[in-house]
Amino acid sequence: MRAIIVGSGAGGATIARELSQKGMEVIILESGGHFKPFTRRLSWTEPLRKIGLMGNEKTITRLFPYLETTRSSEELVLVRGHGTGGSTVLSCGNMVRADEGLKEIGLNLDSEFQELEDLIGVKEFPKQRWRPLTQKMFQSAEKMGLEPQATPKAVDAMKCVSCGLCELGCANQSRWDSRRFLEDAIQNGAILKIKTPVKKVLLENGRVSGVEIKSGISSKAIYGDLVVLSAGGIGTAQILKASGLPAQDKLWTDIVLTLGGVAPGAKMLKEPPMVWYSQQKDYILSPYVDILSHWFHKPWKNVSINDRVGMMVKLADLEEGAVYENGKVHKEISQDDKQKLEVAVSLAREIMENSGVSGPYVKGMYNGGHLGGTVPLEKSDVGEMRPNYLPEGLWIGDLSLAPRSQGMPTILLTAALGLKVARKILEIEPK
């Protein structure tokens, strides 16, 4: 049996690894190229940034093509990975157990979470290597009753050089990403095809027969017995709609808004981002320097990266974004979400002020990089881990399956969904 897996992020790589281990023929199609981390120093951008010549968020894609940005509305920028490893190569390596909305539909991923944590080697980053200001902010959050906790991470502290640029790729491979699962799959006999964007799914007599890929200026078919779409909340929905199949206009993004303050010599980049977090209803708070805001948000331009202090709000937003067949995305920030963000920002400011951080306090760019909800599971789907309206042989293996926004890191959730889906494929699909 041949399985075609579209996408090489947390979901796709996990599924490829699992299926190939069990002897299935696996072809992995990745629309981008082989990922390479950003290795330039940020200092060269400072003169351009200060005089406003860095342009907008599209500039980063020109400099670093693996990070793709999409403006889904006037206020909101969506970010996703484009290359081997998907968005895992551009992450902070956070491995929190996020399962908002899943147990309500009867889906328990605790065993998958535990298996992946053990396999990846999830640990907290040593507190003695946190920056002094980060420790002060943690203590401030404790005194406020916000119950902060160290973030479980897929980072080898012995290899980590504390460059703070996890989201631009880890140059010394101290942070796990899904390319390690890809390597396992390839060793098991899987075939990886890069720069192979999938246009649509092919159907024959009501069952999947393969995919159509873009090949130069033309198209060609790759045939298989089953297809797993793991192209993320946007990519998976685009492929489905281009195939005449349904995807729901329920895109969620986990909206991020970082409050910026100032503390001379803070040097927050001298540690991994988000070494601790405080979980509140609908959002988390975490220390974080937002590189997008630093480069492209004008209110942030007068403070150097060494003096910039950031406190992130990651919000579980309303699930009401739309993905279109032509590649466009429409997702706005609702008034309800803005009100929740204002409450969260006020707490972030209090944490920072109590830690000696000064103003001017400025909000960063609204952005979102957890893209899900476009093919959400319902209670009746959980038994087979696939929406029952999909044609036979077509599976979804990414965050699209999660019906609710998390307001939390989602790599572990995506991989756990992938693992659950892979095992259902092995159980259900004909041998």
Annotate 310-347 with three-state secondary structure: EEEEEECCCCCEEECCCCCEECCCCHHHHHHHHHHHHH
Task: For residues 196 and 259, state if they share a domain.
Answer: no
Domain that holds residue 77: 42-82+122-175+255-368
Q: Given this model, what pLDDT does residue 297 score?
A: 87
pLDDT at 55 (0 to 100): 65
- What is the structure's pLDDT at 298? 86
pLDDT of residue 302: 87
pLDDT of residue 133: 98
Q: How far is CA 276 from CA 147, 149, 178, 273, 345, in A?
A: 10, 5, 23, 9, 17
Residues of the chain with confidence (pLDDT) below 70: 40-55, 431
Give the pLDDT confidence score for residue 151 in this predicted structure.
98
Q: What are phi and psi of 39, to 5 degrees?
A: -115, 0
Q: Which of 152, 82, 72 is nearest to 120 (CA)?
A: 152
Measure the N-to-C terminal CA separation of the chain; round to a whole number of Å. Answer: 6
Residue with tokens 């920028």, as numbered in its chain: 77
Residue (of 67, 110, 65) closest to 91 by Cα position:
67
In a domain, 227, yes or no: yes
Are 183 and 149 in a shared domain?
no
Would you say residue 382 lies in a domain? yes
Position 47 scores a pLDDT of 61
- The pair of three-digit structure tokens given for residue 313, joined into one six-digit string: 């709000």
Q: What is the pLDDT of residue 165?
A: 87
- Both 348 and 363 in a single domain? yes
Q: Given this model, what pLDDT does residue 40 score?
A: 63
342: CATH: 3.30.560.10
Q: Does residue 419 belong to any structural domain of this protein? A: yes
Give domain status of residue 111, yes or no: no
Q: Which of 320, 348, 368 is the last residue of a domain?
A: 368
Residue-level pLDDT at 220 = 95
Does 67 share its domain with 207? no
Q: Which of 318, 346, 368 is the last residue of a domain?
A: 368
Residue 303 — φ and ψ, nearest 5°?
-120, 135
Same domain, 147 and 262: yes
Contact between 263 and 356 under an 8 Å Cβ cutoff? The reply is yes
Task: Identify the pLDDT of residue 42.
Answer: 61
Question: Cβ distance 151 to 281 under 8 Å?
Answer: no
235/281 same-domain check:
no
> What pLDDT is attached to residue 50?
63
Considering the domain boundaries, does residue 108 fall inside one?
no
**298 and 196, same structural domain?**
no
